[in-house]
Amino acid sequence: MNLSLRNDVPECRSSFAGASDCRHSHSPVRHHHQTGDHCRWSHRGQIQAVRSHFLSTGTVPEGVPSPLVRSWQRSSHFGFAPPTLSRQRDRLAEPGLRSLKERNGDLIIAAREEMASLGQELSGQGGVVILTDPSGIVLGRQGDGSFSMEADRLGLNEGFDWSEEAIGTNAIGTAALERTALTIVGAEHLFCLNTSISCSAVPILDPSGVLAGVLDVSTSLAVAHDHLLLLLRRSVLEIERRLFEQRFPRQMKLRFHSSEHLFGGIRDGLLAFDDDRLVGANRAALELVGHDWSAVGMARFEELFATGYDTVDRMAAPGRSNLRSTDGREFFARLQLPPKSVSALDPEARIDSDANERAVRPHLALENMPDRGTLRFRKMKAGQLIYGANLQDQCGEAILVFASGRYRCFASHEGRELTLFTLGCGDALPLGADLAVEVCSEGDVAIIPRALFQRLARQYPEFGRCVLSVIEGLLGRSLSMVGDMAFRSVRYRVIRYICTLAERDGRKTSAGVVIDTAPIGDELAMAIGAARQSVSTVLAELIRAGDIFRPTPRSLVISDIESLRAELQRSH
């Protein structure tokens, strides 16, 4: 399959003073001001004029983001400025595509759930989610609907090359070369055929800091990308976590965070050690300890933390531990020691050891179990409810093991709901008779009757241990939540959570501290363990008092964060 691409930029005419006229740009008039790392100049109406000026003179005015300028300059060197010639784009042949997918198998597996989730997010807007290898060749695509035909026409399909060298400035190729998250809108693409779309992309890094691929969302110009870029960032963090787990099944792993209330979440730091040498990390970990990727493969445990390596086994006790960096920063941490070596002469022990290596999480342990009978993962649809009372047997409650999707476990009484846990891939939960689980996004769940779980735990002790380890973490979270519910008001918990988010994700502006992706009422209620009605009441009080306001449904501005911090201090 091939695509013939015409790029008739000389027909695009405009002046800086007036409106632009691009006869071959399909929808040039709608542009959306971006926030965050990839800021745009103030007047989007000038974008085509700026582009045409660059194509004719090779220069751009001040205010154009540096990554975009550099990409246009690279594209001109690749022969896209002035891009007057038609170009033939060939799809990678099937044998080559199969080989490419095999080489990138870990990345494809790690990204599968996040791509499906983003595809659902786009279902009402029209768009596609694209995964590429490091060179920009498409490995997979998710998303259907109104945008699919346009995506096919443009070559947003498996096997097509979206590097800058192949197609000029575009979000995939530019994000890969710049190693930064960005959005390319309409005429910011240098190739005229692509000016009808908006694309956001985030590079995916492996645990050594090497580019593993790019995750992209492409839509029509009518779709704003401010929120989509933030969703992409979050998805890439989860993909990088899964790549980390895949890479280091038998190494000592450290999970840590500077905030007690955020510990255990998607922004935890992850480090892997071979003896005392650092062999893998994620971005959050390096930021927390104040190092860059050059530390991987070189730094020793004692160079990062004040705790001696000879005492780390004490940190592997159940629950969280406190850890201090060499420069005095405090962290909440959990250490996972490598599995013990097993003699090759003991075949039963060898089976357990192999399972331990493969089964980092309960769902993987279950998938790798050689004799699980008819037990299978069930496909659950968003909106379904799983009631604990319906799953009881003579031995007690059933155990739920989650392989994909998002869920919330809640209790209800007289029409009021209390969210106890939010759950996802790798979690496990004993579902009591008075509890229920709501499916928030489609996924796979194994429902294991208690009697069967007891038999499997006896037959495969490693499976039982990894399930109990996850349940232990849930118990720790619930105990912390119970303490908060007993001694802290909902108002205190809401304000504390908002202040913590501001410290982590906020940016200072003249209007106050802006949180671009603040949780809505349901999400905030889940995070602090409060009823949705109570959280909504507190948010309304803060808005009426002028302490916070919401310029958009997903963003939040804290007018005076010091005032909120002072209120927390007075409540101690």
pLDDT in tens, 84-125: 444 556 788 888 898 898 889 889 988 988 888 888 878 777
SS3 state at 70: helix
Asked if pLDDT for residue 344 goes beyond 50, the answer is no
Question: How many structural domains does the chain have?
Answer: 4
Contact 216, 182 (CB under 8 A): no
| Predicted pLDDT of residue 46 | 65
**CA 190/CA 74 separation, integer angstroms:** 11
Greater model confidence, 532 or 449: 449
Query: Does the pLDDT of residue 335 top 80, yes or no?
Result: yes
> Does pLDDT of 11 surpass 90?
no
- The torsion angles phi and psi of 354, rounded to 5 degrees, stand at -60, -40
Question: 327 or 19, which is more confident?
Answer: 327
CA angle at residue 560 from 554 to 563, to 5 degrees? 120
Do 75 and 96 sit in the same domain of this protein? yes
Distance in angstroms (rounded) separating the CA atoms of residues 478 and 501 = 21
d(CA 505, CA 516): 8
- Tokens in use for 534? 């109570």
Q: How many CB atoms lie under 10 A from the CB of residue 328? A: 7
Residue 15 has pLDDT above 70, yes or no: no
Q: Kindly state whether residues 184 and 222 are assigned to the same domain.
A: yes
Q: What is the pLDDT of residue 7?
A: 39
AA letter at 552: T
Residues 311 and 263 in one domain: yes
Mean pLDDT of 165-189: 87
482-498 mean pLDDT = 82
Residues 184 and 209 in one domain: yes
- Alpha-carbon distance of 547 to 499, in angstroms, equals 12
User: What share of the chain has pLDDT > 70, as a percent?
Assistant: 77
Contact between residue 131 and residue 215 where contact means Cβ atoms under 8 Å apart:
yes
| pLDDT, position 29 | 31
Other C-beta atoms lying within 10 Å of the C-beta of residue 9 = 23
pLDDT at 9 over 60: no
Which pLDDT value is given to residue 215?
97
Of 297 and 484, the structure prediction assigns the larger pLDDT to 297
Q: How far apart are CA 409 and CA 401, in angstroms?
A: 13
Locate tokens 């009422």: which residue?
A: 521
Of residues 168 and 294, which shows the higher confidence score?
A: 294
Q: Are residues 59 and 192 in the same domain?
A: yes
For 410, the token pair is 């809640």
User: CA angle, corner 399, sides to 397 and 402, nearest 5?
Assistant: 150
For residue 169, count CB atoms less than 10 angstroms from its CB and return exposed for 0-12, middle for 13-18, buried for 19 or more.
buried
pLDDT value, residue 116: 86
In a domain, 412, yes or no: yes
Looking at the domain assignment, is residue 290 inside a domain?
yes
Same domain? 127 vs 254: no
Is it the case that residue 23 has pLDDT exceeding 50? no
144 and 65 within one domain:
yes
Of 84-98, 156-170, 488-502, least confident by mean pLDDT is 84-98
Q: Between residues 222 and 218, which one has the greater pLDDT?
A: 218
| 3-class SS letters over 464-500 | HHHHHHHHHHHHHHHHHHHHHHHHCCHHHHHHHHHHH
pLDDT band at 232 (very low <50, low <70, confident <90, very high): very high
Instruction: Judge whether 348 lies within some domain.
Output: no
Same domain, 183 and 56: yes
- Other Cβ atoms less than 10 A from the Cβ of 558: the count is 25
Considering the domain architecture, whether residues 146 and 85 belong to the same structural domain is answered as yes
CATH number of the domain enclosing 538 = 1.10.10.10
CATH number at residue 461: 2.60.120.10
- Does 265 lie in the same domain as 204? no
The CATH number assigned to the domain holding 91 equals 3.30.450.40
Chosen domain end from 199, 218, 247: 247
Question: Mean pLDDT throughout 1-15?
Answer: 39
Q: How many C-alpha atoms does 247 have within 13 Å on its Cβ side?
A: 23
Q: Which residue in the block uniquely carries the two structure tokens 């059933």?
A: 398
Beta-sheet strands, E only, within 236-351: 252-257, 269-274, 277-281, 321-324, 330-336
Beta carbons of 284 and 268 less than 8 angstroms apart: yes
Is there a domain that residue 311 lies in? yes
87 or 484: whose pLDDT is higher? 484
**Do residues 241 and 263 both lie within one domain?**
no
Of 390, 467, 377, 455, the C-alpha closest to 430 is 467
pLDDT > 90? residue 472:
no
Mean of the per-residue pLDDT values of the chain: 78
| Any domain includes 350 | no
Look up the domain containing 329 and give its range.
Answer: 250-336
Most confident range, picked from 151-165, 199-213, 453-467: 199-213
pLDDT at 289 over 80: yes
Give backbone dihedrals phi and psi of 156, rounded to 5 degrees, phi first: -85, 65
Residue 351's pLDDT is 38
48 has pLDDT over 70: no
d(CA 426, CA 362): 6
Residue-level pLDDT at 59? 73
Which pLDDT band, with edges at 50, 70 and 90, does 350 fall under? very low
User: Tokens for 311?
Assistant: 């005492």
- Do 210 and 263 fall into the same domain? no
In a domain, 341, yes or no: no
349 domain-assigned: no
What SS3 state is found at 360? coil
Q: Which residue has the higher pLDDT, 387 or 18?
A: 387
Average pLDDT over residues 322-333: 87
Residue 501 has pLDDT above 60, yes or no: yes
- The stretch 449-475 carries a mean pLDDT of 87
Is residue 282, in this structure, part of any structural domain at all? Answer: yes
pLDDT reported for residue 320: 60
The encoded tokens of residue 539 equal 């948010």
* Structural tokens at position 228: 């989509």
Tokens 């922004």, residue located = 267
Domain end: 230, 247, 264, which one?
A: 247
pLDDT per position as a tens digit, 63-86: 666 777 788 888 777 766 554 444
Q: What is the DSSP string of 156-191?
A: -STT-B-SHHHHSS-HHHHHHHHTS-EEEEGGGSSS
DSSP codes, 375-430 = --PEEE-TT-EEEGGGG-BTTB-EEEEE-SSEEEEEEEETTEEEEEEEE-TT-EEE
Q: How far is CA 278 from CA 252, 303, 313, 457, 567, in A?
A: 10, 10, 16, 34, 41
Most confident of 172-181, 224-233, 480-489: 172-181
Q: How many angstroms separate the CA atoms of 419 and 269, rounded?
A: 26
State residue 313's pLDDT score: 58
**Which residue, of 442, 475, 508, is where some domain finishes?**
475
